[in-house]
Structure 1
Amino acid sequence: MNFTDKLHHLAQPLWSKSFTHPFIQELTAGNLPITKFKFYLKQDNYYLTEFATLHQLIAAKLSNMADKKILLAGATFDNNDELLVRNAMFAKLGITDSDLANTKPTPAAYNYITHMYYELNTGSPARATAALLPCYWLYSEIGARLEEKSSPVPIYQQFIDGYAGDEFTNSTRAMINLVEKMSSVVDATERNQMINAFLKSSAFELQFWEMAYQQKQWSFESRI
């Protein structure tokens, strides 16, 4: 079993909960309230903006140009497949630039991003790249699982199609290969840290669905 196969195997208990989460199940069935989907999109915009920045910061620490290119492909709004999909959805749902600018990160979004910055700033590019990977790989698998199930809500189908498409699949495969390559040039201790970073991100992915479904905010905000 190679390193990324091991990551995939270890993540299954967490990923299976994402596959069966009510947010995903109701989105597929078409009965997810649109308010919950809009809440998700606004939080995900915060996440993806920081996610793109992380790609750039990690790339800056690498010397291999091919590896840098893989990360830089996800570092800009123009080339980030997820951000392009989201922008089309914002327009259809009437989510404005002002709405996005005024969206404050929820605990789940904040914690997930903080985790990835921590892996970069106190760890290594290898750990940070491993922390990025679940966002690609889990969504790609969700897209593949749901591809043959047509949601009756067109914008929910667009969400599914975006992650089942060739572009996102190819980006995911490139990131998997990059993490595999990085794991081959570090010691066993660092590989364990990469596993830890990957699994934490997988746990945060599950928390993100729950956050969106429950529309969870900071508990103290209502008292400010």
Structure 2
Amino acid sequence: MTFTDELWSAIEPIYAEILAHPFIGGLTDGTLPQDAFRHFVVQDSHYLRDYARALAVCAAKAPDEQDVRAFADDAVGALAAEQGMHAEFMGAFGESAEQAAAEPVLPTTRAYTSYLLATVYGGSFAEAVGAVLPCYWIYARVGEQLLSKSSPDPLYAKWIATYGDETFQAVVRRVLALTDRLGEQLAPAERRRVIEHFTTTSRYEWMFWDAAWRREVWPV
């Protein structure tokens, strides 16, 4: 069993819940309320800014020059997605990216990014990779799963195509190959920490979609 096999087996029940979530089902059949998708886009814009920072820390901690460049490129790509795709989505709602940026970071987004940044700053390079990996891998698997179905709603179809696209899938394969290389070198205690971080941020992925479905707000 490869290390990525071990990681995926740890989150199979979480991934099954993601695929079964009404937010994901609503994307493919076109029934997802637009205000739920808008909630997702706004919070994802906030999330990606901190995710880019987390990837930049991965680049700083990477011992191999090739991985430094790769994570730095991914950090730039995360910001480009925030500025490009999300601006386009906000435009479809008759709003601007600036309006999205002015909205508050909501509880699930704040919790996810806080955990992510604390882990990448405070942990080893392998722990940092484990924490950022679900955002690569789960989106790739969801995109791949939904691509054959697409969506009757052109906005949702565009989102699905972005993550099902072969370019994104190739990036994810690169990170998975790195993860397997790291797994060969990990002592048992660090291996357990990587699995724990990977599982935790996978749970946050489900929570992120659920927060959009519920149109989460600060309770007080």
Whether the TM-score (by the shorter chain) exceeds 0.5 is: yes
Q: Which residues in structure 2 correspond to 1:101-120 (within 5 Å)?
A: 101-120=101-120
Amino acid at match of 1:131: A
**Where does residue 65 of structure 1 map in the other structure?**
65
Q: TM-score, normalised by structure 1?
A: 0.92
Q: Which deviations, in whole Å up to 9, do the C-alpha atoms of 1:122-145 show, x marking residues without a partner?
A: 221211111111111111111111
1:99 is aligned to 99
Contact 1:82–1:162, Cα closer than 8 Å, also in 2: no
Shift of 1:4: 0.6
Following the alignment from structure 1 to structure 2, what is the Cα–Cα distance between the partners of residues 83 and 5?
Answer: 34
Distance in 1, matches of 2:83 and 2:183, equals 28
Aligned to 1:170: 170
TM-score of the aligned structures, taking structure 2 as reference length: 0.94
Instruction: Look up the match of 1:126.
Output: 126
Aligned to 2:11: 11
Q: Would you say the 8 A contact 2:87–2:96 is kept in 1?
A: no
Aligned AA (1:112): Y
More helix by share: 2
* Native 8 Å contact 2:43 2:109 kept in 1: yes
* Number of aligned residue pairs: 220
Which residue pairs with 2:199 in the alignment?
199
The 3 A distance-change label for structure 1 pair 197 and 58 is same
Shift of 1:77: 4.5
Q: Following TM superposition, by how much is the alpha carbon of 1:78 offset from its aligned partner in structure 2, in angstroms?
A: 7.5
Q: Is it true that 1:152 corresponds to 2:174 in the alignment?
A: no
Distance 1:120 1:185 in 2: 19
Q: Is the 8 A contact 2:49 2:82 kept in 1?
A: no
- Give, in whole Å, the separation in 1 of the partners of 2:39 and 2:80: 21
Match of 2:103, SS state, is coil
**CA deviation after TM superposition for structure 1 residue 183, in Å:** 2.2
Which runs of 5 or more residues in structure 1 are unaligned? none
What is the CA–CA distance in structure 2 between the aligned matches of 1:29 and 1:116, rounded to whole Å? 32
Structure 2: gaps of 5 or more residues = none
- Quote the residue 1:32 is aligned against: 32
Contact 1:77 1:83 in 2 (8 A): no
1:69 Cα offset (Å) = 1.8
1:49 partner letter: R
8 Å Cα contact 1:85/1:162 also seen in 2: no
Distance 2:61 2:143 in 1: 31
Deviates more, 1:125-134 or 1:35-44: 125-134
Aligned identity (percent) is 30
Contact 2:48–2:78 (8 Å) recurs in 1: no
| 1:212 aligned residue | 212
Cα distance in 2 between the residues matched to 1:61 and 1:152: 43
Cross-structure match for 2:187: 187
Compute the displacement of 1:7 (Å). Answer: 0.6
Structural RMSD (CA): 1.7
Please, which moves more after superposition, 192-201 or 52-61?
52-61
